[in-house]
Homo-oligomer: A and B are copies of this chain.
Amino acid sequence: MADKITFLGAGSTVFAKNVLGDVMLTSALQEFELALFDIDLERLKDSENMLNNLKATAGSGCVVKAYTDRKEALRGAKFVVNAIQVGGYDPCTITDFEIPKKYGLRQTIADTLGIGGIFRNLRTIPVMMEFARDMQEVCPDAWFLNYTNPMAVLTNAMITHGGIKTVGLCHSVQVCMPHLFDALGMEKDGVQTKIAGINHMAWLLEVTKDGVDLYPEIKRRALEKQKEKHHDMVRFELMHRFGYYVTESSEHNAEYHPYFIKKNYPELIDRFNIPLDEYPRRCVEQIERWKSMREELVGSKNLEHQRSHEYASYIFEAMVTNQPFKIGGNVMNTGLITNLPKEACVEVPCLVDASGVTPTYVGDLPPQLAALNRTNINTQLLTLEAAFTGKKEHIYHAALLDPHTAAELSIDDIVALCDDLIEAHGGWLPKFQ
């Protein structure tokens, strides 16, 4: 039997193209079966067609196979890629944004922390635990590459409660320095970086060239750029105030802190160019765009692909060839970042080779960065507590500890908001007591 890469949520056609198209272009991976699974059978079929077209143009030896039985898709897998979304834009994302809005609580993305992130976790964790149970049965030694958000909590759940070898992967690490340097017109070649923290709030701890710290120049240019409107104003402000650049975008970070979306300071939305309701807007656009994209991706016999910067195929390659590859990965904090809680999932440099994904030691973060991370970890850990005890009170705790939610609402409103969200989710959530 051939080795097997199983892709859960394979109906994400664009992402499947990137990850599995990359695999088809990697010589060490040509004997793998690419096993596709999705609960949306139409999208599953689309991805299968698209990949078979790619296979033909790339001349790949990989076998593409779509499954309607998840356990069969997973059976014997060596690698599992997870890109599912539970509840979709309609109804769940709509719920995540509209109900808080009634309480005057505004969000931008809601896929990580905050009230939206909490409920996204609560509806996704049970599905992930089903994956873990299946994997324990049919591929207990497989590596699970999680791309689904909220990254930190889901990866934590999969490792701690699922007992599966998991690494969480997020583009924000790879693009952090290039994005910043492009924005500031600085040269990227030969730049060394060190990034660690938690997913979506990891920190560019070091950025040097030939041993010279580039931060003074970065900060000088950033202050200059900040005089005009641009799309990264929240992050530049965070760097200005806390001294370090953060991995995730300004629209995300706007809702991880109590500083930007404030009823008392409505002018900050404009001043920091904060796109409220950004994520649902993107969802609607994406859905609208799908029709034309579908034509292009699924219908085109001559579909081409260039190996992308997604970590997945490089990780498979490193594990298969034993050539070391370095990633920023999400793993449990087994003493790696010494001033963050041991129960947290952290994003740190990891070494990948035939031994798997091995995290490296970081030590203490600068104290202000550890403090900011801890405010987010508080909500993460209480969300996990809610998911695994089934107690409603821990949902309230998670929301009460969220920096943005707690800054904006009273305790009564937070509790009522949680109750409303539980009710609106209906069957998308397990029962809480």
* A positions within 8 Å CB-CB of B: 78, 141, 190, 192-194, 206, 208, 211, 237, 241-243, 257-259, 262-265, 268, 322, 324-326, 334-336, 338-339, 341-343, 349, 351, 353-355, 358-361, 363, 367-368, 370-372, 374-375, 378-379, 381-382, 385, 393-394, 396-397, 400-401, 403, 406-411, 415
Contacts and interface: CB of A to CB of B under 8 A. Distances in A.
A259 B400 contact: yes
Contact of A322 (B192, B336, B367, B397): B192
Given A194-B355, A360-B359, A265 B382 contact: no
A361 B378 contact: no
Copies of the chain in the assembly: 4
A208 B353 CA distance: 13
B322 A324 contact: no
A47 to B, nearest CB: 28
B336 A361 contact: yes
B268 A410 contact: yes
B349 A355 contact: yes
A289 B5 CA distance: 57
Nearest to A259: B411
**Shortest Cβ-Cβ A-B pairs, 9 listed:** A335-B335, A192-B354, A407-B407, A371-B378, A368-B397, A358-B360, A324-B326, A351-B351, A258-B406
Contacts of A351: 324, 326, 349, 351, 360
28 contacts: A78-B211, A141-B211, A192-B322, A192-B353, A194-B355, A237-B411, A241-B411, A242-B397, A242-B400, A259-B406, A259-B410, A262-B410, A324-B324, A324-B325, A326-B353, A335-B361, A336-B361, A341-B370, A341-B374, A351-B360, A361-B361, A367-B382, A367-B385, A368-B400, A371-B401, A375-B378, A375-B401, A403-B403
Contact of A400 (B241, B326, B360): B241
Given A374-B374, A411-B241, A334 B361 contact: yes
Contacts of A258: 258, 406-407
B403 A368 contact: no
B360 A396 contact: no
A349 B354 CA distance: 12
A378 B374 contact: yes
A394 B410 contact: no
